[in-house]
Amino acid sequence: EAQVTQNPRYLITVTGKKLTVTCSQNMNHEYMSWYRQDPGLGLRQIYYSMNVEVTDKGDVPEGYKVSRKEKRNFPLILESPSPNQTSLYFCASKSTNSPLHFGNGTRLTVT
Amino acid sequence: QKEVEQNSGPLSVPEGAIASLNCTYSDRGSQSFFWYRQYSGKSPELIMFIYSNGDKEDGRFTAQLNKASQYVSLLIRDSQPSDSATYLCAVLQYNFNKFYFGSGTKLNVKP
């Protein structure tokens, strides 16, 4: 089944404790992206990647890192999480001629 | 000014009626337009996409695009309670790198 898989689905952590949210897609998509969703603000792009070893900042990249060492994986790294990063996170992927396909989301709470 | 604007709603319609959802965008260079449906706590799922001016129909759904007015809409005919969700308008800009999402319109279909 074609899908984008994120893990974990739920994560509660404390300020400053490094964490990684994984994202994997099995559709051989070149493009992958991370979004955060907050009430009233909609989906905002954090980082995106056009292909392996190519990443670029979205609209809200501060406090996040990403890497794209393999085509299928695009992890999101929070080196020192803060409470303002509490949000619902979505990974998404697409090929050149397709719309975005979203993962199931990761609900992160930073206390 | 936000890239993509939507009325947050809620928009309430009776079962069987036509629901009309609207979206405006600011960048005239935008090429592709998408409507996603999102149930609470779930990931967005694609309903329709449209690239050219005019109407595009798929079952009960019709997307309408007017590039001169920078306006895109979604009509849902014969609305069902299961259509109750938040509808996200998304715009892909000319370089195919960035999607911009509206904050969504919440639709309530009353039985």
Q: Is A27 on the interface with B (CB under 8 A)?
A: no
Q: Is B96 on the interface with A (CB under 8 A)?
A: yes
pLDDT of residue B1: 63
On the question of pLDDT at A103 being above 90, the answer is yes
Asked if B43 and A48 come within 8 Å (Cβ–Cβ), the reply is: no
Q: Is A87 on the interface with B (CB under 8 A)?
A: no
In the numeric block, the tokens 């794209």 are attached to A68
Q: How far apart are CA A53 and CA B45, in angstroms?
A: 28
With cut-offs at 50, 70 and 90, classify the pLDDT of residue B28.
Answer: confident
Helix (H, G, I), strand (E, B) or coil at B43: coil
Q: Of the candidates A84, A100, A82, A80, which has an alpha carbon nearest to the alpha carbon of residue A92?
A: A100
pLDDT of residue B99: 85
Q: How far apart are CA B6 and CA B24, in angstroms?
A: 7
DSSP secondary structure, A55-71, as one string: EEE-S--TT-EE--SSS
pLDDT of residue B31: 84
CA neighbours closer than 13 Å in the CB half-sphere of residue A100: 34
Asked if B44 and A90 come within 8 Å (Cβ–Cβ), the reply is: yes
Average pLDDT over residues B96-107: 87
Helix (H, G, I), strand (E, B) or coil at A103: coil
For chain A positions 49-78, those within 8 Å of chain B (CB to CB) are: 50, 56, 58
Q: How far apart are CA A83 and CA B95, in angstroms?
A: 33
pLDDT tens-digit readout, B36-94 = 999 998 999 999 999 999 999 999 999 999 999 999 999 999 999 999 999 999 998 76
Q: Which residue of A has its CA nearest to B47?
A: A99
With cut-offs at 50, 70 and 90, classify the pLDDT of residue B96.
Answer: low
pLDDT tens-digit readout, A10-69 = 999 999 999 999 999 999 999 999 999 998 888 999 999 999 999 999 989 999 999 999
Q: How far apart are CA A60 and CA A8, in angstroms?
A: 21
* Residue B22 CB burial class (10 angstroms; 0-12, 13-18, ≥19): middle
Q: How far apart are CA B48 and CA B35, in angstroms?
A: 5
Q: Is A11 on the interface with B (CB under 8 A)?
A: no
With cut-offs at 50, 70 and 90, classify the pLDDT of residue A96.
Answer: confident
Q: How far apart are CA A89 and CA A6, in angstroms?
A: 9
* Residue B74 CB burial class (10 angstroms; 0-12, 13-18, ≥19): buried
On the question of pLDDT at B95 being above 80, the answer is no
Strand partners, B56: B63
B96 interaction partners in chain A (CB closer than 8 Å): 31, 96
Of residues B1 and B101, the one with the higher pLDDT is B101
